[in-house]
Amino acid sequence: MKKDISIVIPLLNEEESLPELNEWIKKVMTENNFSYEVLYIDDGSTDQSWSIIEELNKKDDAVKGIKFRRNYGKSAALNVGFEATQGNVVFTMDADLQDSPEELPELYKMITEQGFHLVSGWKKKRYDPLSKTIPTKLFNWATRKMTGIQLNDFNCGLKAYQSEVVKNIEVYGEMHRYIPAIAKWAGFTRITEKAVVHQERKYGVTKFGLERFINGFLDLLSINFVGKFGKRPMHFFGTFGTLMFFVGFVMVLYVLGEKIFYLYEGVKAPLVTDKPHFYVALTSMVIGVQLFLAGFLGELLSRNSPNRNNYKIEKELG
């Protein structure tokens, strides 16, 4: 049966917070008369998290759970959770009690009444150390510039989606940071944000280190490239290949022209291999050819992909 709300909660070793979080969600859902389901995605926890989810499931019909055999990461947990949702509006939130369920009714209205595809939470006032907040600001600035999506907090765990959005996107690797960008490339462009309350962590410790910012930047480059050139790789590689080959060709003309000039003047010309221009020309032309080959190979892979003509149709008239 279709629900009003599905709440997807990925978690790793959050045994202390789960009972309190579930009661908090239940209170908010009951007060607002929502039909709902809560999907806890246990990403390979080594504590008693799964046992607690099993107990919650026995006591509360709205509670569902999926347990991974090992730790696959937050993106995998979200992707599996999205596939299992049955609600008209899908929420994601973290299990550490730093996201408040009290925000859900207002976010729900922004999806159902204002027609947004995706509403991202914005932790305007954060309770994180400077070692986390400063890199986060730089990360969000770079993401805004590269994606064109004007959000202040891309990585906030609290988000609301139309069900259609989560059923038409794939989250993999560590791409959970860029779900708004993934949604945009899938054609869901009505994206906004809402300032939400950020609470101090009550139990446990954060599961993310500084390496996530390095990985995050590399993922940002990947998702922008795939989004823009995934179906037309020759446009990217061919452009740079042409440019590099042209630079090399101009250098070759310069070296040949200089050689002819010396011969015409009857002056002993230096060896071509003694001039740096020769090596610049050779290297540029080789790189240009390699980029062209990369583009052709990319086109072959793209043409033979089973999803090459998988276009998302919003509406159709008979």
| 179 plus 222 within the same structural domain | yes
Q: Return the pLDDT at 238.
A: 85
Average pLDDT rounded to a whole number, residues 222-232: 69
What sign results for the dihedral spanned by CA atoms 295, 188, 29, 121?
positive
- In a domain? residue 313: no
Average pLDDT rounded to a whole number, residues 53-71: 94
- What is this structure's pTM? 0.73
**Of the residues 229, 258, 280, the one at which a domain ends:** 229
- In a domain? residue 242: yes
Q: Which amino acid is at 71?
A: N
| 33 plus 180 within the same structural domain | yes
Model confidence band, residue 307 (pLDDT cutoffs 50, 70, 90): low
Intra-chain end-to-end CA distance of the chain, in Å: 29
- In a domain? residue 314: no
Q: Return the pLDDT at 211.
A: 61
Tens-digit pLDDT profile for residues 16-30: 999 999 999 999 999
Q: What are the distances in angstroms from CA 187 to CA 118, 127, 161, 241? A: 12, 34, 14, 30
| 143 plus 270 within the same structural domain | no
Q: Can you name the residues that pair with 237 across neighbouring β-strands?
A: none
Average pLDDT rounded to a whole number, residues 67-87: 93
- In a domain? residue 308: no
Give the CATH number of the domain where residue 45 resides. Answer: 3.90.550.10
Q: Return the pLDDT at 315.
A: 52
Residue 159 three-state SS:
strand
Q: Which of 127-141, 225-239, 262-276 has the lowest mean pLDDT?
A: 127-141
- In a domain? residue 84: yes
Q: Can you name the residues that pair with 195 across neighbouring β-strands?
A: 122
Kind of pairing between the strands at 159-162 and 118-122? antiparallel
- In a domain? residue 27: yes
Q: Are residues 220 and 143 in contact, defined by beta-carbon separation less than 8 angstroms?
A: yes
Q: Which of 148-152, 154-158, 311-315 has the lowest mean pLDDT?
A: 311-315
Q: Return the pLDDT at 124.
A: 80
Model confidence band, residue 236 (pLDDT cutoffs 50, 70, 90): confident
Total structural domains within the chain: 2
Q: Which amino acid is at 255?
A: V
**Of the residues 189, 206, 229, the one at which a domain ends:** 229
- Return the top range by mean pLDDT from 118-132, 167-181, 261-275: 167-181
Average pLDDT rounded to a whole number, residues 28-40: 96
| 47 plus 140 within the same structural domain | yes
User: What CA–CA distance (Å, rounded) separates 213 from 220?
Assistant: 10
| 261 plus 192 within the same structural domain | no
Average pLDDT rounded to a whole number, residues 39-55: 94
| 145 plus 240 within the same structural domain | no
Q: For the chain, what is the mean pLDDT?
A: 85
| 164 plus 16 within the same structural domain | yes
| 32 plus 144 within the same structural domain | yes
- In a domain? residue 153: yes
| 108 plus 93 within the same structural domain | yes
Whose tokens are 């462009």? That residue is 189
Which range marks the domain in which residue 239 is found?
Answer: 233-303
- Return the top range by mean pLDDT from 189-198, 206-215, 230-239: 189-198
Model confidence band, residue 147 (pLDDT cutoffs 50, 70, 90): confident
| 142 plus 275 within the same structural domain | no
Q: Report residue 196 as tokens.
A: 């939400």
Average pLDDT rounded to a whole number, residues 259-288: 82
**Of the residues 229, 262, 290, the one at which a domain ends:** 229
| 78 plus 199 within the same structural domain | yes
- In a domain? residue 312: no
| 158 plus 272 within the same structural domain | no
